[in-house]
Amino acid sequence: MTHPHPPYSSLEWWTIVLGMAAATYLPRALPTLWLARRAAQLPPALRRWLEMLPPAALGALVVPGILYVAPGRPWVGVAGGVAALVIAALTRSNLAAVVLGAALVAGLALQAG
C-alpha cells in the first residue's frame, strides 16, 4: 500500500540517514583515533589483547558461515575452510585461498545435492 504523501520530506530523510550514519561511525572511529595516538603508552598486555581482536572477530564471523553453508552437511563448509587454510599457508595468498576454497565448497555442495 502506497501513501498519498511521503512520510518524510527529502531533507528530513537525509537528516535521518546522516544522523544514523554518524551514530554508527563515531562510536567506532573515536576510540580508534584515541588509541592510535596512545598505542606506545599502553601496557604490553593490553596491546597484545587489542592485536588479537581482529582475528577473533573474523573467526566469529567466518566459523558459523563455514558450518552452515550447506544445511545438514557441515562437512562441506569444513572441507572448504580447511582447504582455504592450507592454500593460504602454502601460497600466502588470501585471494587464492578465498577463490579456491569457495570453488571447493561450491563443487562439494553441488555434488552432495
Predicted confidence at residue 6, as pLDDT, reads 67
In tens, the pLDDT along 84-97 reads 999 999 999 989 99
Predicted confidence at residue 47, as pLDDT, reads 86
For the segment 56-69, the average pLDDT, to the nearest whole number, is: 89
Judge whether 66 and 80 are in contact, CB under 8 Å: yes
Predicted confidence at residue 4, as pLDDT, reads 64
Predicted confidence at residue 111, as pLDDT, reads 86
Residue with cell 554518524: 22
DSSP letter string, 15-82: HHHHHHHHHHHHHHHHHHHHHHHHGGGS-HHHHHHHHHHHHHHHHHHHHHHHHTSSTT-HHHHHHHHH
Question: With 60 as the cut, is the pLDDT of residue 74 above it?
Answer: yes
